[in-house]
A and B are shown apart, each in its own frame.
Chain A
Amino acid sequence: AQSVTQPDIHITVSEGASLELRCNYSYGATPYLFWYVQSPGQGLQLLLKYFSGDTLVQGIKGFEAEFKRSQSSFNLRKPSVHWSDAAEYFCAVGGFYGGATNKLIFGTGTLLAVQP
């Protein structure tokens, strides 16, 4: 079955510290992988995506993620967190398993708090 696991429900980091949010997936075909960020009461903003090619993907706001096929992981990283990064982060996997539409399956999200 297709699924996405985000093991950390809630993470708190100090401003300026590095960040890594974990994401593991299970997918029956070549996965397309995404990270989205959601601020309170808002929709989702795409941070970055991986379709193919270089396994280290750069995104907006200084985020990057690395696709590791052997570990079925797509962890999100940022070297120095800013207070404005406090939000909820969703990992998603998509592709064409069982159909021709890029349906997304979302993880349960990781809520990031940033301490001053």
Chain B
Amino acid sequence: GAVVSQHPSWVICKSGTSVKIECRSLDFQATTMFWYRQFPKQSLMLMATSNEGSKATYEQGVEKDKFLINHASLTLSTLTVTSAHPEDSSFYICSASRDRRETQYFGPGTRLLVL
């Protein structure tokens, strides 16, 4: 149990366009989902925390208008990168937990390349 999926696994887009990434908990209900960004050969940096039905909480330095997060159901959260630029190219990973106090289970990640 505790399987998390992400779609797409990779995406290439033109500068200025928007890209949506989905994160799904397949076999459990996720009260809380997290979005991370990972640069090559670096660690994961938490971008935001989202609780189902409420607004996401963004970490310091993360632009909430650029990285739109929606957690509309207990099994789905989406991250939309708006007006993407080449510097937004990165590996985006989501995680989900049954409760805000529980272990996080990670998705396989989405590699974004902005040309």
Instruction: Please list the residues of chain A having a beta carbon within 8 angstroms of any beta carbon in chain B.
Output: 34, 36, 41-46, 49, 90, 94, 96, 100-109
Report the bound CA distance from A42 to B43 in whole Å.
13
Report the bound CA distance from A42 to B45 in whole Å.
16
Q: Is B17 on the interface with A (CB-CB < 8 A)? A: no
Residue of B nearest to A32 (CB): B103
23 CB < 8 A contacts A-B: A41-B109, A41-B111, A42-B109, A43-B93, A43-B107, A44-B106, A45-B106, A46-B105, A94-B104, A101-B100, A102-B100, A102-B101, A103-B34, A103-B46, A103-B49, A104-B44, A104-B46, A104-B104, A106-B43, A106-B45, A107-B43, A108-B43, A109-B42
Q: Do B44 and A101 touch across chains, with their CB atoms under 8 A apart?
A: no
Q: Do B32 and A101 touch across chains, with their CB atoms under 8 A apart?
A: yes
Q: A interface, by DSSP: helix, strand, loop or mixed?
A: loop
For the complex with contacts A44-B95, A101-B101, A103-B49, 19 further pairs of A-B residues with Cβ separation under 8 Å are A36-B106, A41-B109, A43-B4, A43-B93, A43-B107, A43-B109, A44-B93, A45-B106, A46-B105, A46-B106, A90-B43, A94-B104, A100-B101, A101-B49, A101-B57, A102-B97, A104-B44, A105-B46, A109-B43
Q: Which residues of A contact B87 (CB under 8 A)?
A: none
Report the bound CA distance from A41 to B38 in whole Å.
11
Q: B interface, by DSSP: helix, strand, loop or mixed?
A: strand
The number of A-B residue pairs with CB atoms under 8 Å apart is 56
Q: Is B65 on the interface with A (CB-CB < 8 A)? A: no
Tell which of B4, B42, B101 has the most Cβ of chain A within 10 Å.
B101
Instruction: Please list the residues of chain B having a beta carbon within 8 angstroms of any beta carbon in chain A.
Output: 4, 6, 32, 34, 42-46, 49, 51, 57, 93, 95, 97, 100-109, 111
Residue of B nearest to A107 (CB): B43
Residue of A nearest to B46 (CB): A103
Q: Which residues of B contact A45 (CB under 8 A)?
A: 106
Q: Which residues of B contact A41 (CB under 8 A)?
A: 109, 111
Report the bound CA distance from A93 to B44 in whole Å.
13
